[in-house]
Structure 1
């Protein structure tokens, strides 16, 4: 693993820390390393949930490393996706469509441009109270095409999303919380304890059920409720059919009836 991406396993939880001083910008090598980490989370049956955060207390990530791009180190600015940015494309997760395990973003500081796109690709977002978000691409002559255009308008009212996209204006965490773009705001010293508490809660659940939820929501996001029901019954999902016939389902029901803690094995 790259020195810029540090990975620690804590039981069934993988913690991924971006560590590129001063602002944790993401160049191509870092993107590849992030992608490899998220693929390890995806592929290891012993892992059930991930946390992504960053070193320091100033920046979660300032996004794409523009200095590397301008120097030609990461190819010239242009159709960047023709260059190998690793599995999951930019930041390793923004296009990792087969990652069915939940990822929690613990946003420890500013998340701008690609940093916001990394955070918003995650399933839960907890922020330190001094963090903020912005999409400053337009004045640079580019667009936020790794999730800013695709995900932000789905998380915010259209006109507010357009303020961020067109004006590049800064959004504080309280406002992001108000609109539901993030889940919680905490003090800096409670950031990782909160993320770990959430991760442990998820890890204690039935893995197939957790993965089926993420799988179904991703595949049916743009469908009507009626079409979603039909698609769930007829589509060839990886996890959904397994859940209903799993040993974990039997264990969960038995544990409820016997008033004891369930012990799920992902089978």
Structure 2
């Protein structure tokens, strides 16, 4: 039975979870209660062996998320964040399952940083991305300062960090920030199509690929990364899927994947 949530919606479709930030009246801006609720959602997703892929989107047709709820902050209420960061994702570094951001409008400030923390981004043609924190005396402290230059290069990242300007979906695609653009209002559908492509593959293979990719990027050079002995490699060769994949191929049938 799905837990009741106040600030998000969670729909489970076999191995796919769809998580919707549900504060459309606030353009899906997040305050502490919403952040802690999302942390709980992604904790459950991480621990569920039957959950293989997640999609994160925003309610309504205006915004994925406009980031930190500045009205809540201006009210003087305490600002606390979960250990896993904004939306329970920006400081979560031990989740090997893929998360797709379906950006259906504004992804501003912390909302953009949430998208950057996801593995893949699908955006509709009306989506826009920005880190406007310096315009209100803040900074992109939920990982944007560090993730953006790693994903698009230092010079362009510095421009976006220093100016807070909007980046259209088309420009975001050109600079390698997002994976796919779709028609307005179709971001969730496009994310589902991408998720379905992933779900055709072994979840164990996907998870160890993500883990090894992230670990390898932290190493000094390509040779070190290739020759390193990863724990994930042992997980793969001792898994059900390592046997099932070739067996299904030989028997000319669809594989019956497992996450173990």
**Which TM-score applies when normalising by structure 1?**
0.91
**Which residue of structure 2 aligns with residue 251 of structure 1?**
244
After TM superposition, the structure 1 = structure 2 runs for residues 65-214 of structure 1, keeping only pairs within 5 Å, are: 65-75=69-79, 83=80, 85-214=81-210
**Which residue of structure 1 aligns with residue 54 of structure 2?**
50
**Which TM-score applies when normalising by structure 2?**
0.93
Distance 2:82 2:92 in 1: 10
**Which residue of structure 1 aligns with residue 18 of structure 2?**
15
Instruction: Report the RMSD for the aligned CA atoms in angstroms.
Output: 1.4
The 8 Å contact of residues 61 and 185 in structure 2, kept in 1 or not, is answered as: no
Query: What 5-or-longer segments of structure 2 have no aligned partner?
Result: none
* Aligned partner of residue 114 in structure 2, secondary structure: helix
**Which residue of structure 1 aligns with residue 36 of structure 2?**
32
The 8 Å contact of residues 60 and 109 in structure 1, kept in 2 or not, is answered as: yes
Instruction: Report how far residue 189 of structure 1 moved.
Output: 3.9
Distance 1:54 1:265 in 2: 30
4+ residue runs over 3 A deviation = none
* Aligned partner of residue 18 in structure 2, secondary structure: strand
The 8 Å contact of residues 104 and 185 in structure 2, kept in 1 or not, is answered as: no
Instruction: Report how far residue 164 of structure 1 moved.
Output: 0.9
